[in-house]
Amino acid sequence: MKNMNKSFEIKLLQCLADANDQVVMLDLELLAVISVVSEDNFVRVLSLLMKLFRSDEILLKRAGYIIRQLSVSKFLQFSH
């Protein structure tokens, strides 16, 4: 994500607030793929998520679900 456009990062994170669970799941899968590429990307994704959780109470309530799903998606990416 280091070379990624800031507006793209913002759009990816905004998708986590979508009411449609399928949109959220696909977004988390994409974030997992991005974070597997390098340790820098992984740290960047987690850092952005923590910043988002601090600034958005609604997403903070979904934080457990988001982290859990991201972890599962990341694990599935690693196992392929």
Contact 27, 15 (CB under 8 A): yes
Find the domain containing 46 and state its range: 6-79
71 in any annotated domain = yes
Q: What is the pLDDT of residues 25-51, one digit of tens each?
A: 899 889 988 888 888 888 888 899 999
User: How many domains are contained in the chain?
Assistant: 1
Which pLDDT band holds residue 67 (cuts at 50, 70, 90)? confident
CA distances from 6 to 9, 33, 77 (A): 5, 18, 24
What's the whole-number mean pLDDT along residues 2-6? 64
- For residue 55, what pLDDT is reported? 93
The pTM score is 0.77
Q: What is the pLDDT of residues 12-28, one digit of tens each?
A: 888 999 989 899 889 98
